[in-house]
Amino acid sequence: MLLHSQSEMEEIITTEEVNEYLDADNSFEIISPDEIKEALAYEDLPSAVGKIKDYLEQQDRVELNIAVTGESGSGKSTFINAFRGMGDEDEDSAATGVVETTMKPTAYPYKKYPNVKLWDLPGIGTPNFKAEEYLKQVEFQRYDFFIIFASDRFRECHAHLAAEIVKMEKKFYFVRSKIDANIYAEQRKKTFNKQNTLDAIRKNCIEGLESVGVNSPLVFLITCFDLTIYEFKNLEETIEKELPQHKRHVLMLALPNISLEINERKKKELEKNIWKLALLSAGVASVPVPLLNAALSISVDVAILMKELRRYYNVFSLDPASLQKLADRSGKSVDDLKYVLKSPLHAEINKDLVIKLLTGSSVAATEAAAEYFLGLIPGLGSLAAGSLSFATVYFTLKHCLDGLVTDARNVLIAALETSV
Ligand SMILES: Nc1nc2c(ncn2[C@@H]2O[C@H](COP(=O)(O)OP(=O)(O)O)[C@@H](O)[C@H]2O)c(=O)[nH]1
Ligand SMILES: [Mg+2]
């Protein structure tokens, strides 16, 4: 049963939120929110629904290409595997510890979001290395941004490459990897001070970059063996913050569940789509499924809900393949992990389950919500299925998302328990 008071509803979706969304972010290169806004302003909801449909479809096609470059042996391939949530020995992982021989970049797509790719670039810093030629050879235009790897002292090749990337009007983040090894080595000294060691490494990189005219360079100290320590978190958050909204969305959904914070941010990204999906599901009259729920009959497009619920499972790695992988890596059994799941299993997401979820909504609460949404979204009442369907779909998705986020959190905690 879903019970929602008026204030609870306001907490979930407000007029400001709808307007804010429509106003926000001029960086949308896909469909412009103005178009949806315009459609809504003329109270022509069917046309707004069409726009939203286009918007959601385009969102699924957004590409993100991240170039990982640096000297051979600096940890590029190890990082790519970790950033994709894989071990170095997993199938489809990048080979590590091998000497690079080609000048051809290799793409490593995220399994569940193949449009998001990490590109393993050939090593830099060979004797006659020329940054300009190198960038041409790797087809620099293809990438949204670069991550430059260095695992030792800052070198001239790093500086040249960074300066050339800036010249080509691309962005880069500088990563100093293998910090674990530096700390380990420095610990032998009597005067060892961890913070001083980290500061010195950072200063060396920043000064090197500034010497070629890079302003306020961003440097991140990491270890590819464990992304939960040192500064991977800052790196990931900075990348996210600096991406245009539509690219940020796909990166968030593709990222592995490395931390509870990432889970929370994934949830926020998915939440933004709920009202659009509700509108779509309730507004598309093509293949409506009439549902009989004691006192009311509503009609929604169940396929839209099924697709989105499956997406939730994938994004939070609660699908069978991901659970198996997590079990293998954490040394727990799949049953142990499944034990903490409260939501129905991925395999059970079918029409019957969705109908059960939809009809589980409390009639009174849904009716009250329908009234509320009616005032919020012009033209909602004129839809074939109407505001009642909208409210039902809205709450169903919200309820399922909340449940799955909690499950993802518990699974992550359960998996971590054994690995430490
Ligand atoms: N200690 C330590 N070793 C690392 C780290 N990253 C990679 N390595 C090791 O460094 C070697 C080269 O790594 P690889 O990812 O193949 O480097 P690439 O040539 O830049 O792709 C491998 O033996 C890795 O296990 C790190 O952060 N810390
Ligand atoms: Mg490599």
- Structure confidence at residue 195 (pLDDT): 95
**Which ligand has the nearest atom to the CA of 71?**
1
Element (H, E) at 299: strand 296-300
Task: Supply the residue whose CA is at minimum distance from atom 25 of ligand 1.
Answer: 97
244 and 109 together in one domain: yes
Task: Answer with the one of 228, 256, 284 that is the final residue of a domain.
Answer: 256
User: What pLDDT does residue 130 have?
Assistant: 95
Q: Which two tokens stand for residue 90?
A: 């997993």
Asked whether residue 337 falls in the same domain as residue 202, the answer is: no
Residues with CB under 5 A from ligand 2 (ion): 77
Residue 129 identity: F
Instruction: List, run by run, the mean pLDDT of 10-residue segments along the chain (420 residues).
Output: 45 54 43 56 66 85 96 95 90 88 90 94 91 96 97 94 96 97 94 95 96 94 94 95 92 89 92 86 55 53 89 92 86 90 82 79 62 64 64 85 92 74
Amino acid at 43: E
Looking at the structure, tell me whether residues 121 and 38 fall in a common domain: no
Number of folded domains that form the chain: 2
The verdict on the CB of residue 73 being under 6 Å from ligand 1 is: yes
CATH number for position 109:
3.40.50.300
CA 260 to chain centre: 13
Ligand 1 pocket, residue 81 CB under 6 Å: no
211 occurs within a structural domain: yes
Same domain, 184 and 201: yes
The pLDDT assigned to 366 comes to 64
Q: Are residues 194 and 284 in the same domain?
A: no
pLDDT of 110: 94
Long-range CB contact pairs, 219-222, < 8 A, 24+:
219/174, 219/175, 219/176, 220/173, 220/174, 220/175, 220/176, 221/175, 221/176, 221/179, 222/79, 222/175, 222/176, 222/177, 222/179
Same domain, 186 and 71: yes
Question: What was the pLDDT predicted at 183?
Answer: 96
Give residue 390's domain range: 6-60+264-419
Please indicate, yes or no, whether residues 239 and 386 belong to a single structural domain of this protein: no
Within-domain flag for 73: yes
Q: What pLDDT, on a 0 to 100 scale, did the predictor assign at position 378?
A: 63
Q: Where are the beta strands (DSSP E) in 125-279?
A: 145-150, 171-176, 219-221
Residue reference for tokens 């409390």: 362
249 plus 199 within the same structural domain: yes
Ligand 1 site, residue 182, Cβ cutoff 6 A = no
Show which of 233, 256, 279 is a domain's final residue. 256
In a domain, 1, yes or no: no
Residues 193, 279, single domain; the answer is no
> What is the predicted pLDDT for the residue at 350?
85
Residues 279 and 148 in one domain: no
What's the pLDDT tens digit per position in 368-403?
666 666 666 666 666 555 666 777 888 888 889 999
Any domain includes 230:
yes
With respect to residue 92, please indicate whether it lies within any of the assigned structural domains. Answer: yes
| 22 in a structural domain | yes
| CB of 50 closer than 6 angstroms to any ligand 1 atom | no
Domain C-terminal end among 207, 231, 256 = 256
In this structure, the answer to whether residues 339 and 194 fall within a common structural domain is no
366 lines ligand 1 (CB under 6 A): no
CA of 392 to the centre of ligand 1 (A): 51
Same domain for 407 and 298?
yes
Give the pLDDT confidence of 7-51 residue by residue, as tens digits: 554 455 555 555 554 444 433 344 455 555 665 665 566 667 777
Residue nearest ligand 1's atom 26 by CA: 178
